[in-house]
Amino acid sequence: MNPWTLVRANRGVAAVLGLLVLSACLLVAAVPKVTQSAYDEALRDTVAGSEPSRTDLVVVSQRRSGSGRPLTPEALLEAERSFRAALPAELRPVVTPLGTGGSHYGVHKDEVPIISVDGQARSYQYLDLGWLSDTGRRVRYVAGRPPGPPGKLDGGPLFEVALARQAAEKMRLSVGATVLLGDTGKLAARVSGLFEPLDPASRYWLHNTAVRQVMEISKPMADHPDWHATGLVSDASLPELGRLYRNTDYRWVIGVDGPAVTTLRAPGLVEAVSAFRGAVPVVLDGPSPGSLETALDALLTEHLTRLRVAESLLLLFVGGLLAVALGVIALAVRLLAERMSHGLALIRARGASLARIAATATATASAVAAPGAVAGYALSYAVPGPVTPIVHLGPLAVVAATALFAAGHAVTHRWPRFDRRDDVVASRPSPRRITAEASVVVLALAGTYLLRSRGLTTQAGERGSDPFLLLVPAGLTLAVALVVVRCYPYPLRLAARLAVRLRPAVPFLGLALAARARPASTLSALILLPALAVAVFGAVISSGLTVTQTTSAWQQVGARARLDSALPVVPETVERIRRVPGVRAVVTATRTATMMRTDMQRVTLLAVDVPSYRAVLRDGPLVLPDAPVLISPDLENRGTIELVGPRPRTLTPGGVVTGLSRVYGGGPLVLAPPDGSPANTVFVDGEGLDAKLLLAAANLPGAQVTTLDGVLEDIAETPFTATIERAFTVATIALAGYALAAVLVALVTGGAERAGALTHLRALGLSQGQARRLTVLEISPMIVLTAVAGLLLGLALPAALGPGVDLSAYTGGLAVEVYPADLTAPVLLTVGLAAAAMLGAFAYAAFGRGRPLGTALRGLRGEE
């Protein structure tokens, strides 16, 4: 039989099925693309946010002896080419050619102290000598000329050097200055010119900050930092520089192209970097072997760890979503099969083989599913993102599942007979089915135990995700759904027993109809329940994530805004800050690093007026006990605290404050009343605080302002976190839609039988209003029971799986409170869905009222 004829004959149901397949295919193809592009965005952020010296591949050779060959630019270029030749294939597409991006090479001789400049002695100053490839294109001379070939001074080499203008000014070195340098032998330099870097923000100059500016380096125990400037020598001076091998580094930088580093390439790149690390000493062997300095592999590994956590969570949601989508598709296929059942039963009776029936049903379902899948697949291309195999395979799997569901229904035509009674209450499940259901329940419980003890995401980085554990939440949901379906008749019987004593007939009739509904009607419970559970779970996790992110931000800032200054904060400054728009209250504090007398443990002392500070913290999650002296939990049970330092203090703690110590790195913290020391910290309370305005008002050099909103944005707006949040939202909306679709499809599936029963009852005197109430009552036990079970499961899932899901990567390091802090959203979600489902039932009942009774009864007789 031509499947298109059957599709045309059942176009309404076919359209519903087509839409469901379309949405499922769109989700299954688009979500991986979106998440994959979010992962890539996160990786790009990571690479772009890191120092080029960490992300680029830098081959460093520290010279320990003079090389036999003279050092020339050509020799360095030759070495550069040999490194590139040794690059593993995976790395080649992501590195930039020489002269572009960060790729270049150079020589740097450091720790060259200045003895005198033009005869005047200098101290704490160094003039390091360096050579960089490609300088001609990277600098602009603002004074003098480029350096020329080396000369001689007092029998030692004299290098002509060019300095960055900024560095020369700071070091007070002018063009023509002759600098005597201290080394093993005699060494001198003459400044030939000053330059300014072209595009100082480029990766080339980020690699060579020491050439661009003076580096201040504080040596241990020194009271004054050393200043290091670098003078660039000419190509002609390179052989001479090569002979000064002491403290000389040769560096070849192979730049990495940030956008080319994608998540899909990451695992291969980690291995390739490791392989290259091994290859470098082989390429550059001899007395001064090379080594690879890069943190690219570490960055990628860290990214992959976070990725696995995100993937595990998304797999939970998208997997749940897909399962629910397939469930609704199965219901729609069932509806289509029922609509085709008369025709199929007839052709079966007229001599069609079972294989033919299966082929017809499968072809019909596929004829509907295939265009839907193609449309969903095509629509997914409107979503930006890399195309992974799942984008192609997902829609195929959905179509295959649809076809399989349809083929499965052919079994009902094994015997071409009709009129078999099936009751929810009376039918007894086969031992095989009970065993299978019990196995699912036991497996789900065992899986939950394993998940709690082993963790789903905590060890994902080390061990990778465990597919069995990933299936646990879905399994647990299925187990609860099975238990609900199995137990569904018992409260129904009880309710019917109570209802029979009532005077109105509608409650009893409604419950009786519900009890006598076919088992198929409970199938929608198997979809409604996971949909609700996953949606509620998502809402709980999402709200938990938001709350924890806020808590984490409060713990990192310690107020709505905090100003830290190295210079004392005077009352005038405080007054200026107080006048900044949005500021409500200002509290000053003195933060001092000190030590405990007993064991010399380092302690941060925050001298602040606790009652005033408590007022600043009143809106946040940080709670200060009512006592003048407070300590962090790690100092608990230590009795009186004696602090040493310029102002020794002895303090008796009056309470413990948790979380606040994260403001100062998480070490031991003591809050004590002010002791008159000048303030260096300002805690600000207010609304819409702007860091720039506060900083401008303070007008303190070197001061830093941290705002709660800024920190929260940093935590919450990372691509990973945003993806997880977006996935929660999409999953919740989609699940709500599917749950509604499941209820409506279930209603339509039982529509003919319900209409038959109602028509008989209307002939006996049932009014239109009673008929509508009856329909709602018939569907409500299942909806109410499923909604309650779904809500409870959704609320229990985070607690059951909580220890196994580590979301701290998304909260700035703080473990997520997975217990539902606010029940409003989940309860509203459940009640809304249940109400929408019942409204659907009511509308369905109202829709059928226009049929005259006589016509309806005649139609009914025809159907029997």
What's the CA dihedral at 536, 538, 539, 541 to 10 degrees? 120
Strands (E) in 539-616, as ranges, are: 561-569, 583-596, 602-607
Which among 2-10, 155-163, 668-676, 755-763 is the span making contact with another protein, rule CB under 8 A? 2-10
CB of 745 to another protein, least distance (A): 22
CB of 351 to another protein, least distance (A): 3
CB of 481 to another protein, least distance (A): 25
Which among 93-101, 343-351, 653-661, 662-670 is the span making contact with another protein, rule CB under 8 A? 343-351
CB of 414 to another protein, least distance (A): 9
Which among 20-28, 425-433, 519-527, 704-712 is the span making contact with another protein, rule CB under 8 A? 425-433
Q: With 0-12 CB in 10 A as exposed, 13-18 as middle and 19+ as buried, what is 54?
A: middle
State the SS3 of 80-149.
Answer: HHHHHHCCCCCCHHHECCCCCCCCEEEEEECCCEEEEECCEECCCEEEEEEEECCHHHHEEEEEECCCCC
Q: Which of 342, 433, 497, 602 binds another protein (CB under 8 A)?
A: 342
Q: Which of 81, 92, 172, 417 binds another protein (CB under 8 A)?
A: 417
Q: Which of 267, 289, 416, 710 binds another protein (CB under 8 A)?
A: 416
Residue closer to another protein, measured from CB, 68 or 862: 862
> How far is 361 from 374, CA to CA, in rounded Å?
20
Chain centroid to CA 439: how far? Answer: 34
Which among 42-50, 338-346, 443-451, 524-532 is the span making contact with another protein, rule CB under 8 A? 338-346
Residue closer to another protein, measured from CB, 354 or 585: 354
Residue closer to another protein, measured from CB, 265 or 413: 413
Please tell me the count of residues contacting another protein according to CB under 8 A.
25
- Own/partner contacts of 620-624, CB < 8 Å, gap of 24 or more, are 620/550, 620/554, 620/559, 620/560, 620/708, 621/547, 621/550, 621/551, 621/554, 621/659, 622/554, 622/555, 622/558, 622/657, 622/659, 622/660, 623/657, 624/655, 624/657, 624/660, 624/671
Residue type, 128: D
CB of 350 to another protein, least distance (A): 5
Which among 55-63, 409-417, 683-691, 722-730 is the span making contact with another protein, rule CB under 8 A? 409-417
> How far is 307 from 463, CA to CA, in rounded Å?
13
Residue 427 binding another protein, by CB under 8 A: yes
Decide if 260 contacts 92 (C-beta within 8 A): no
Q: Which of 267, 343, 461, 848 binds another protein (CB under 8 A)?
A: 343
Residue 705 binding another protein, by CB under 8 A: no
The mark string for 344-383 relative to another protein (x by CB under 8 A, - otherwise) is --xx-xxxxxx-x---------------------------
At 228, is the secondary structure helix, strand, or coil?
A: strand
> How far is 324 from 334, CA to CA, in rounded Å?
15
Which among 130-138, 239-247, 411-419, 666-674 is the span making contact with another protein, rule CB under 8 A? 411-419
Residue closer to another protein, measured from CB, 704 or 855: 855
Partners of 594 in the beta sheet? Answer: 603
Decide if 415 contacts 61 (C-beta within 8 A): no
Residue type, 299: L
Residue 88 binding another protein, by CB under 8 A: no
Give the β-pairing of 649-651 and 641-644: antiparallel
Residue 411 binding another protein, by CB under 8 A: no
Please list, residue by residue across 6-15, b when 16 or more beta carbons sit within 10 angstroms of its beta carbon and e when fewer do: bbeebeebbe
Q: Which of 5, 439, 658, 855 binds another protein (CB under 8 A)?
A: 5
Residue closer to another protein, measured from CB, 211 or 352: 352
Return the residues of window 59-78 that contact another protein according to CB under 8 A. none
The mark string for 245-274 relative to another protein (x by CB under 8 A, - otherwise) is ------------------------------
Decide if 428 contacts 524 (C-beta within 8 A): no
Decide if 630 contacts 614 (C-beta within 8 A): no
Provide the phi-psi class of 76: left if phi over 0, else alpha when psi is between -120 and 50, else beta. Answer: alpha
CB of 861 to another protein, least distance (A): 9
Residue 15 binding another protein, by CB under 8 A: no
Residue 29 binding another protein, by CB under 8 A: no
Q: Which of 9, 198, 264, 502 binds another protein (CB under 8 A)?
A: 9
Residue 421 binding another protein, by CB under 8 A: yes
Pair of tokens at residue 785: 């029971």
* Interface positions with another protein (CB under 8 A): 1, 5-6, 8-9, 342-343, 346-347, 349-354, 356, 415-417, 421, 423, 426-428, 862
